[in-house]
Amino acid sequence: MESSEQHALQDKEHHAIVAPHYDELVNVPRKRINDCLFREIKNHITYSGKGRMLDLGAGTGQMSVRFGGNFSEVFLVDHSKEMLVQAKKNISVIENVNFKLVEADALAFIEETGELFDFVACSGFLHHLDEADLTKAMRHICRVLKDKGHVVIAEPVKTERIEPALIRWWNKPVIPRLMQYLALAPAPEETPLNLSSFLEIASRAGLNLKYQRKSWEIYSRFDNGWQDRLIIPLIDRIWNDGVVWMGVFEKA
């Protein structure tokens, strides 16, 4: 079995175990910083309310929860049926949207589908791919986009910067909760994206970068209460060139 296939199998096995706890241990502590990361998107994308969205590598559906209400139809694609079970629960609060949950390998789906979309969201999936598969994925993401369609991508990226001491101090009380996640099941090794190489791949695929920004991982210390709402955006304004990257692309 090829290494990329082995990685995908390990990732699937990992998420089968952690799925019931994933939001509590991974997504909830990141809610406030993710709000900061995505808040400017509305200034770069116009939603009609009638288009189609693809949530590629959907996991528990957090991108669909964040953006799905702007569309009439949303496809959530993930290779973990256990993660899609959680996604179904999360999207149940959104009305007047036709959600379709697809259990499939995200790369295989994007290669084979004949569906077209106005908007593709991809968070935490692409850095699992080697360069050949990443190139293939970006080419097919562009293919399934309608003219002037948009892609929002959020991924960990390589950096030579050192995490600021204040952020290390702020995150320290939350780290034991995150370690609970890793203790549930071993996660496959992951390598952050080389951002400059990735942007070249996206450009060659036919995608124009409209907006990008970075952040550090800044975890919610107070259950996303007023303290987190006040302090995390402030920290993010001061130190915003970290290991998490988000970009908005438009089909050329």
Residue-wise pLDDT tens digits, 145-173: 999 999 999 999 999 999 999 999 999 99
Q: Long-range CB contacts (< 8 A, 24+ apart) of 39-48?
A: 40/211, 40/213, 41/152, 41/211, 41/248, 43/211, 44/150, 44/210, 44/211, 44/248, 45/119, 45/150, 45/152, 45/248, 47/71, 47/119, 48/118
The pTM assigned to this predicted structure is 0.94
Give per-residue pLDDT as tens, 1-54.
445 677 778 888 888 888 898 999 899 999 999 999 999 898 898 888 889 999
pLDDT of residue 199: 98
Spatial CB neighbours of 4, under 8 Å, sequence gap ≥ 6:
129, 130, 133
Q: Compute the average pLDDT of residues 175-198.
A: 85
pLDDT of residue 1: 41
Q: What percent of the chain has pLDDT over 70?
A: 98
Domains of the chain (ranges, CATH numbers): 3-251 (3.40.50.150)
Question: Greater confidence, 119 or 18?
Answer: 119
Residue 147's SS3 state is: strand
